[in-house]
Amino acid sequence: MSGGLGARLRQLGIELPPPFQPVATYVGAVVVGGQIWVSGMGPTWDKEIRHRGKLGRDLTLEEGQQAARLTALNLLAHAVAAAGGADRVGPCLKLFGLVNSAPGFTDQHLVLDGASDLLGALFPGSPHARAAVAAPALPFSIAVELDGVFRLLP
């Protein structure tokens, strides 16, 4: 990828949210041998939750995709913080996505495309593995939760 993540974010006019650390015995991301493992994140901006509720009841598919996109930005923000800079964050390797779902909603994969398409734009030619699942509830009623693994660049 020419230019690195920092340049790509600027080219696409994308701003990352501030990666606020949980006040807890766990952290937003851990660096492990050439990889960055990011904790489960939600559709927040700083400390504000932007998308709450269930797909198939409270939110449209498009709103769910926006929630997935914003959640991916939080993954990136924590990856950047843990890696020590945007240009040390390489492509996403794996995305695990949970969609807060009302009974009968089975389009979890379309919701998560909001995250995958963003990562595809930021890391062209380096697609990730993914799993998409329904959750009956999520902490704070967030609409989407993602965790992810990114490559750490030297």
Q: Could you say whether residue 150 binds its own copies (CB under 8 A)? A: no
Quick check: 28 and 110 in contact, CB under 8 A?
no
| Residue 107 contacts its own copies per CB under 8 A | yes
Is residue 154 close enough to count as binding its own copies by CB under 8 A?
A: no
Backbone phi, psi, residue 145, to 5°: -130, 135
State which residue, 73 or 98, has the beta carbon closest to its own copies.
98
Residue 39 is a binding residue for its own copies (CB under 8 A)? yes
Task: Name the burial class of residue 45, with classes exposed (0-12), middle (13-18) and buried (19+) by CB atoms within 10 angstroms of its CB.
Answer: middle
- Contact flag: residue 68 with its own copies (CB under 8 A): no
What x/- string results for residues 86 through 105 when contact with its own copies is judged by CB under 8 A? -------xxxx-x--x-xxx
Smallest gap from Cβ 3 to its own copies, in A, equals: 19
Smaller CB separation from its own copies, 4 or 94: 94
For residue 140, give the 3-state DSSP assignment: helix
Q: Distance (Å, rounded) from C-alpha 108 to C-alpha 100?
A: 9
Integer Cα distance of 6 and 113 in angstroms: 22
Options 17, 19, 40, 43; binder of its own copies; rule CB under 8 A: 40
Q: Which residues of 1-15 are buried (b: 16+ CB within 10 A; e: fewer)?
A: eeeebeebbeeeeee
Contacting positions for its own copies (CB under 8 A): 24-30, 32-35, 37-40, 93-96, 98, 101, 103-109, 113, 116-117, 119-121, 127-141, 145, 147, 151
